Structure 1
């Protein structure tokens, strides 16, 4: 009992000391660990160059994911583009908005049309002296401005939303799209009247709040975001991504489809060359490879296309009353269309390619018609007398001879020439038996006669 009492006192004292320690303030963490990223976090530079299209979207998606995986301090979007596809720009804008890594767009050339939308979605904008931002009117494939109220209103709303997200004046973004808006900018003493589309220079953008920094070089941009002590990492499109960007352009995709359709059709209709078939398969292969690398096509679309080709080939050799041919065409068309990012545009491109390919195939078939597959089903060789082929002995020796009808000629019958009975025929006249006839024409064994009129 005497030993247990000190033990109880000791345990109570220990518990009291632990409680007191818990109430003491913790040692403050270093400013670097709590408020700033590690200096090893890189500043990642991602180029946004040339045309805005599906391939660029795929590359930016991969690059932003890599930047996040690196624990990047900042992402610098190196923007120099005259625009491109609106749908691709929207997807890219969404990627930038959702990026957990802070972003800044460095416009060192032009951020026109879809390029301006991409820049507006970045957290900050820096512009090189002499660069420009704006002119985001919607145009068609031929470069003609689209006047549709719905289209203009929609794209104008997208630009306004991007500007509002970053605290910029929405009317300026709207004037970049809709020429019927007009905008007054007292900060630069400029008014854009209705009927004109707004484009801002670097100096103007800085003054109206559409840029946070004028930077003559990338290093100035890095200094502006406080990244001088952070490593600089540049992400470039891989060779496959560059190829995919090229192949997925609408005109290139259409050209590859023309080559594919025409090549295989020529090989089927004018067999023996081999080269058209190889080129046709290569055309389709490049089409699907590019779309697969870009992330639009999967193995399902490729398998669907191959199934279509096989069904069409089977239809050539096995008659199915068109069922296999119809299924093959459906699989082929579905594979090509579903492999594209924009199925509607892909269907149009496929239609154009089919029409052009038909014309090409028709010209080739006409030139090489003597090699056509149909020649295997048509007997063109003639067995003529000039080549030595005689079906029966010719009775040309009877020409001009006179004989006697031994049967009525109606118009065919029999006549006696000397001691020989010969089957004869008139040109349609009736000749009674016992009348005299003369041979007027002989065609092989066909002997033509006419009646000899008595004076």
Structure 2
């Protein structure tokens, strides 16, 4: 009997073992499809399973490691698709195509959003002939601060400021027939800047190349034609501009590709989730408001509004126009770092000095001139490049822009004086008809002050606050006591002093 019992126990043990093996296979058959679904395809799931096994083996070899802790670590790190943000810096086929301060706010916002989202890569799709160096420098700093892998896809040009932007990226991929280089700083007239400014730009390009692991000599040769690249076919005497094949040869560019998908495939991101970032409406508005032409118009409107407000009592349309124009001007310039708060404060100080001069000091003297000087200096500083050096040509351009704004304000004032009185809407605010003596209008003579005081009459026109009233048989210019009075209303004279006759509605 004992052998039979032993055999029965052995059979039972084999059955239990076989059942456990079947259960384990069932669990694996369910778990593997789940991993494949999370990864997106079966090949990636197999690699992930293999990596998981390796990690579990390593963890098991470590002192104190356990299969349970390894499984918990794997569960805490799910397999996600990479995330890539893509956006364009294209100015070749756009109106007014250049890199300007309006683009800087867009790039800074894109990099900040990418850092917050934890993206794996940012692709800059570049096609530009360049633009303002100060704007490109701000963009360069934003790209350098990016947490993710930064890739410049040059399709087809990265000239001048565009080359600085591309060189600041971790990787450069160029389309066939592409170009990069020609970063020599020039003046507003298109002439080469002096050696001082060339030296600053050389240092900027060299530092950028060193940071991204590229040849700093080639980067400097893009700025200064006096630096010769050994074996380079470019004619000596011009700053280096490399084609796609030359950029690959000198290791300025890393790869070549024709589309964004090809770029992502090079860096094993072809399975990535792509988010195409576009400029929003607010950034569009800021870019328009910082355009030199629009800036001049805003300044003209602001100057005209200030002049109109000074010439009229109380707060009116002129002051509102000036406030709106200045808010748009300084607000847009603050967003793109063309203006700082100290420049805005300088303008406010100048405005206060001007108001004090006009309102409280007889005549016009040093206080008013100081206020005007502060305001002009503030506006000029917002238009100068944001670098540590300023060229004479930049100052001349700013002076010319401010002069154009002044001329625009004068023209606007002349047009307003000629056209506004003819508008029906303006006639509701200002009495347009003349009060001629031949039509029976008389001013209150000084000797009859006592006679008019206390007299009651009827308004013939709207008092807003001035108008015309009739007292007995006489028509007199009158002023309402701080209120709007309709025609044919009874009023009483409460003050009569020379030509000033103040009435109150009865």
User: Normalised by the shorter chain, which TM-score bucket?
Assistant: 0.5 to 0.7
Q: Deviations over 1:164-215 (max 9, x none)?
A: 3333333332222212223234xxxx52232122222223322332212211
Q: Name the residue aligned to 2:404.
A: 356
Relative to structure 1, is the Cα distance of residues 307 and 157 closer, same or farther in structure 2, using a 3 angstrom cutoff?
A: closer
Aligned mates of 2:174, 2:66 — CA distance in 1:
45
- Equivalent residues of 2:130, 2:159 under 8 A apart: yes
Aligned mates of 2:270, 2:165 — CA distance in 1:
25
1:49 aligns with 2:49: no
Q: Name the residue aligned to 1:161.
A: 207
Q: Which runs of 5+ in 2 are unaligned?
A: 1-59, 92-97, 421-436, 438-506
Aligned mates of 1:359, 1:81 — CA distance in 2:
34
- Equivalent residues of 2:296, 2:402 under 8 A apart: no
Aligned mates of 2:276, 2:253 — CA distance in 1:
23
Q: Deviations over 1:98-133 (max 9, x none)?
A: 322111101112100011011111110011222211
Aligned mates of 1:310, 1:71 — CA distance in 2:
47
Q: Name the residue aligned to 1:179.
A: 225
Aligned mates of 1:220, 1:107 — CA distance in 2:
13
Q: Name the residue aligned to 2:127.
A: 80
Aligned mates of 1:191, 1:282 — CA distance in 2:
56
Aligned mates of 1:338, 1:255 — CA distance in 2:
17
- TM-superposed CA distance for 1:299, in Å, is 6.7
TM-score by length of 2: 0.58
- TM-superposed CA distance for 1:337, in Å, is 5.0
Q: Which runs of 5+ in 1 are unaligned?
A: 1-19, 372-382, 384-455
Relative to structure 1, is the Cα distance of residues 37 and 56 closer, same or farther in structure 2, using a 3 angstrom cutoff?
A: farther
- Equivalent residues of 1:102, 1:123 under 8 A apart: yes
- Equivalent residues of 2:104, 2:135 under 8 A apart: yes
- Equivalent residues of 1:137, 1:145 under 8 A apart: yes
**How many residues are paired up?**
346
* Higher mean C-alpha deviation, range 200-209 or range 302-311: 302-311
- TM-superposed CA distance for 1:303, in Å, is 6.0
Relative to structure 1, is the Cα distance of residues 22 and 249 closer, same or farther in structure 2, using a 3 angstrom cutoff?
A: same
Aligned mates of 2:409, 2:239 — CA distance in 1:
47
Q: Name the residue aligned to 2:43.
A: none
Q: Name the residue aligned to 1:39.
A: 80
Q: Name the residue aligned to 1:229.
A: 271
- Equivalent residues of 2:304, 2:410 under 8 A apart: no
Q: Name the residue aligned to 1:151.
A: 197
Aligned mates of 2:182, 2:131 — CA distance in 1:
12
Match of 2:147 among 100, 106, 131: 100
Aligned mates of 1:38, 1:144 — CA distance in 2:
55
- Equivalent residues of 2:383, 2:398 under 8 A apart: no
Match of 1:325 among 343, 357, 368: 368
Aligned mates of 1:209, 1:333 — CA distance in 2:
48
Q: Name the residue aligned to 2:12.
A: none
Aligned mates of 2:260, 2:332 — CA distance in 1:
32
> 3-state SS of the aligned residue for 1:191?
coil
> 3-state SS of the aligned residue for 2:222?
helix
> 3-state SS of the aligned residue for 1:67?
helix
- Equivalent residues of 2:297, 2:408 under 8 A apart: no
Relative to structure 1, is the Cα distance of residues 38 and 336 closer, same or farther in structure 2, using a 3 angstrom cutoff?
A: farther
Q: Deviations over 1:211-245 (max 9, x none)?
A: 12211111111111211222111222221122222
> 3-state SS of the aligned residue for 1:43?
strand
Q: Name the residue aligned to 1:115.
A: 162
- Equivalent residues of 1:138, 1:145 under 8 A apart: yes
1:201 aligns with 2:201: no
- Equivalent residues of 1:39, 1:230 under 8 A apart: no
Q: Name the residue aligned to 1:62.
A: 109
Relative to structure 1, is the Cα distance of residues 163 and 191 closer, same or farther in structure 2, using a 3 angstrom cutoff?
A: same
Relative to structure 1, is the Cα distance of residues 170 and 309 closer, same or farther in structure 2, using a 3 angstrom cutoff?
A: closer
Q: Deviations over 1:25-54 (max 9, x none)?
A: 555969x979x9952441011322332232
- Equivalent residues of 2:150, 2:169 under 8 A apart: yes
Tell me which of the two structures has the higher relative contact order, counting C-alpha pairs closer than 8 angstroms and 6 or more residues apart.
Answer: 1
Aligned mates of 1:107, 1:59 — CA distance in 2:
19
Aligned mates of 2:235, 2:70 — CA distance in 1:
56
Relative to structure 1, is the Cα distance of residues 85 and 37 closer, same or farther in structure 2, using a 3 angstrom cutoff?
A: farther
Q: Name the residue aligned to 1:219.
A: 261
1:191 aligns with 2:233: yes
Aligned mates of 1:118, 1:239 — CA distance in 2:
24
Relative to structure 1, is the Cα distance of residues 100 and 22 closer, same or farther in structure 2, using a 3 angstrom cutoff?
A: closer
1:23 aligns with 2:69: no
Q: Name the residue aligned to 2:252.
A: 210
